[in-house]
Structure 1
């Protein structure tokens, strides 16, 4: 599943030319906690609203770790796919803090995996001889 950020927000037209969903307009005034509760009850529009609300701030945060826009977008996708596919989301009073902490952990995991991917082939070093 690949989420797409609508260029128009909740009104106007998408980049593809199709009309955007107007059903999400009422969700703009909802707090993060209200959206979270709706998401826990399976509300997809609330999920999309939370995604659009945090897309740009999370991308900026990811770019502070590693300046790679594609990587940042992939990490955001991974975070929200994990949330979307989660069997049981817990009640959460501080949604913003939860998202940022989860995202930070995901970023550090991704950076750790990238560091482990570094190949040592072609490097020759004699530990005893200092070659």
Structure 2
């Protein structure tokens, strides 16, 4: 018995414009948010999404089978954004500064910080800013996008053990920096509820 995503993908591959539109509408916001985590450039991300869907439509009959459209699209989006960054000669600067470049975190986390006191907001922002770009990306993919460790490993082109280490190190860093019990509980609830 196939799942609804497999059926949707199959219909898309067979040329259903309705299936294609459903996929586009269902995943546009997710792709935009993820692309923005990498590039922090609205127009570049929108261009990448547009180019990605044009390529998907043109090559739909030769695309591989997937059981997770979200994973398939996120992986393709990652490649597309990095390719576009390289074309714009921003990649070298980004790659050399990958551990220190600031990446915006999820809207959910932004909402939580707005609902806390000013002191908690400052502490949380400072703690997140201390995370490396790769730690932020791994946590976003795991807790916000709901991908598995093997999927994140494949997307980021790193070993599964490295993903575990990135997440563990990030959470340990947040725990140590957020030594206010109430604030750490808020962050823990946020991450576990995604």
TM (norm. structure 1) is 0.62
- Shift >3 Å, 4+ stretches: none
Shift of 1:117: 9.6
1:47 to 7, 20, 25: 20
Q: 1:53 to 1:67 in 2, by over 3 A?
A: same
TM-align CA RMSD: 2.1
Rounded to whole Å, the distance in 1 between the matches of 2:37 and 2:58 is 27
Rounded to whole Å, the distance in 1 between the matches of 2:23 and 2:75 is 16
Please, which runs of 5 or more residues in structure 2 have no aligned partner? 93-194
Rounded to whole Å, the distance in 2 between the matches of 1:117 and 1:49 is 32
* 1:67 is the counterpart of 2:40: yes
- 1:114 aligned residue: 88
| Number of equivalences | 89
TM (norm. structure 2) is 0.42
Shift of 1:90: 2.1
Task: State the structure with more CA Rg.
Answer: 1
Where is the helix percentage greater, Structure 1 or Structure 2?
A: 2
